[in-house]
Chains A and B, each alone.
Chain A
Amino acid sequence: MTDIEEGRPLPETPELAHREARAAGALGVLMVLAGIVVLIDAARLRDSDETLGPAAAPTLLGILLAVIGGALAFQSRHFLRTAQGPKRNLWRLAALVVVLIAFALLLPIMGYVVSSAGLFVGAALLLGAPHPARVLAYGWTLAIVVFLVFDVLIGLSLPTGPWGF
């Protein structure tokens, strides 16, 4: 059984620990950047005559983001400097993101059934499914069942393509 647990106290192998520290460092840097954006956005707000105005909470959170993010980045500074580890399936991740965005953009044009079947097939193949033809059959069936249940039976209006589904 392979598993990917989150929040595990001690990663078992040095390689995993290294990976986690690098991700923590990246997240820390991202949080510092986000903190700056939040503070800039808060400064732009029109003040009100309240004791605590609309900017109070974002200012506090912006500072917290920067401080905590800074601490995370600082903790893993050694790992950030070292060279990238082996390229793990990053291209697959990028491809899945492309599939998801394509789904969002094609949904109003191609309709729910075709886009969802496409999403299913794309995701399953990227996750490593064998037998593309069978995956296509499953995806097509699932998309139709969802469409029939939610659009036709319950009445949630799903987008349709020029062919009516």
Chain B
Amino acid sequence: MRYSWRPAAAGPFVAAGVATLLLIASLVWGGDDDAGFLNGRQLRLMAPAAPGGGWDQTAREMQAALRTEAGRTEVYNVAGAGGTIGLSQFVSHEGDPTQLMVMGLVMVGAIESNDSPVALDRTTPLARLLTDYEVIVVPADSPVKNMADLVNAMKDDVGKVSWAGGSAGGIEQILAGLVADAVGADPAEVNYVAHSGGGEALSTLLSGRATAGVSGVSELEGQIKAGTIRPVAVSSPQRLPTLPDVPTLKEQGVDVELANWRGVVAPPGISAADERQLEDLLVRMTRTEAWKETLQRRGWLDATMTGDQFEQYIAGERRTVTDVLVKMGLA
């Protein structure tokens, strides 16, 4: 019976030989299209999140913008736990300057709230690239008209104001905690209802069960323009070009400012020369037309910052975030 399935006794060996030749051909052929960066080795960029999210988008936009500067870059995803799973895997590439990882404020928070065994000081920070701001919204038919209404409601009974937003300990919850702190309410009493993403939080808000929602500006822009939800404040220092009619928190007397920044880090133990070269590369990338067009299209703001300045910035952000997370009872 078995020979009905075998093509011929030599068939498998011929197939294996052909496959080997193809493999070798693809290696030889595909090997020389790099632009000679770092001795011709290819950059690998980790997006420590699932496809479709903010870090994944940043990584894939970088891949496109880096094409002219560093040839083909490879993007891969290691999803989970606010990026801390990717981080703990990333630090094992010690001393390898071809490995990069996208990170940001969310990771700073997740490291604290998840008690991650690996922290950002195990990496070599290269550059902050961009910021995305948060917007506080209410349902279109809500009695809350502006930030003052919301603040008053919080001062009355902070537990009665429910907030729908992204994951626990993430940037949305941090913002809710900072607002509560700034208006003199107890951050630990904030009634924050976590969701696995901005989309899910939006659906809870649209169902009319939550008082307010928090999400990235770029995620809610369409809803705001269509009038299904009403924006009451943005978390930026100045009004945003995409939402010029929405006042900032500071304008409305709430002294809070929060940028959802994203940046890039390299593994620990790379040489100072490599570090400088990578930083130069990233700065060059932010000056390309492709990158400027990306920022415009996605509504991100340029926030390039490198070197020691960036390292100190991370340390400062970590203090702010840890402080509010402790006050909220999350770290």
Residues of A within 8 A of B (CB): 49, 113, 134, 136-138, 140-141, 144-145, 147-148, 152, 155-157, 164-165
Q: Would you give 6 A-B contacts (Cβ < 8 Å), ordered by A?
A: A137-B15, A138-B16, A141-B19, A144-B20, A144-B22, A148-B26
Give the chain A neighbours of B23 by CB distance below 8 A. Answer: 113, 144, 147-148, 165
Among B13, B27, B44, B76, point to the contact of A164 (Cβ < 8 A): B27
8 more contacts with CB within 8 A, not counting A134-B9, A144-B16, A148-B26, are A113-B23, A136-B16, A138-B16, A141-B16, A148-B23, A157-B76, A164-B27, A165-B27
A137/B27 in contact, CB under 8 A: no
Among A136, A140, A152, point to the contact of B19 (Cβ < 8 A): A140
B74/A157 in contact, CB under 8 A: yes
**Of residues A138, A144, A164, which shows the largest number of chain B Cβ atoms within 10 Å of its Cβ?**
A144
Give the chain A neighbours of B199 by CB distance below 8 A. Answer: none
A137/B74 in contact, CB under 8 A: no
Give the chain B neighbours of A148 by CB distance below 8 A. Answer: 19, 22-23, 26
Give bound CA distance, A2 to B189, whole Å: 63
Interface residues of B in 1-60 (CB under 8 A from A): 9, 12-13, 15-16, 19-20, 22-23, 26-27, 30-31, 44
A144/B12 in contact, CB under 8 A: no
Supposing A134-B12, A137-B13 touch, asked if A144 and B27 sit within 8 A by C-beta, the answer is no
B44/A157 in contact, CB under 8 A: yes
Give bound CA distance, A138 to B6, whole Å: 11
Give bound CA distance, A140 to B76, whole Å: 25
State how many angstroms separate the Cβ of B275 from the closest Cβ of chain A: 24
Give bound CA distance, A49 to B192, whole Å: 11
Give the chain B neighbours of A113 by CB distance below 8 A. Answer: 23
The DSSP consensus for interface residues of chain B is: helix
Give bound CA distance, A17 to B20, whole Å: 49
Q: How many A-B residue pairs have CB under 8 A?
A: 42
Among B19, B74, B76, point to the contact of A145 (Cβ < 8 A): B19
Among A49, A138, A164, point to the contact of B12 (Cβ < 8 A): A138
B74/A144 in contact, CB under 8 A: no
Give the chain A neighbours of B16 by CB distance below 8 A. Answer: 136-138, 140-141, 144
State how many angstroms separate the Cβ of A37 from the closest Cβ of chain B: 20
Residue ID in chain B nearest A113 by CB atoms: B23
B74/A141 in contact, CB under 8 A: no
Residue ID in chain B nearest A130 by CB atoms: B2
Give bound CA distance, A162 to B76, whole Å: 20
Give the chain B neighbours of A156 by CB distance below 8 A. Answer: 76
State how many angstroms separate the Cβ of A156 from the closest Cβ of chain B: 8
A141/B22 in contact, CB under 8 A: no
State how many angstroms separate the Cβ of B96 from the closest Cβ of chain A: 13
A152/B15 in contact, CB under 8 A: no
State how many angstroms separate the Cβ of B180 from the closest Cβ of chain A: 14
Give bound CA distance, A29 to B228, whole Å: 54
Give bound CA distance, A148 to B18, whole Å: 13
Give the chain A neighbours of B13 by CB distance below 8 A. Answer: 134, 137
Give bound CA distance, A140 to B15, whole Å: 9
Give the chain A neighbours of B31 by CB distance below 8 A. Answer: 164
Give bound CA distance, A156 to B77, whole Å: 10
Give bound CA distance, A119 to B294, whole Å: 43
Give bound CA distance, A156 to B23, whole Å: 16
Give the chain A neighbours of B27 by CB distance below 8 A. Answer: 164-165
A141/B76 in contact, CB under 8 A: no
Supposing A134-B12, A157-B74 touch, asked if A140 and B26 sit within 8 A by C-beta, the answer is no
Give bound CA distance, A113 to B76, whole Å: 19
State how many angstroms separate the Cβ of A44 from the closest Cβ of chain B: 13
Give the chain A neighbours of B22 by CB distance below 8 A. Answer: 144, 148
Interface residues of B in 52-111 (CB under 8 A from A): 74, 76
Give the chain A neighbours of B12 by CB distance below 8 A. Answer: 134, 137-138, 141
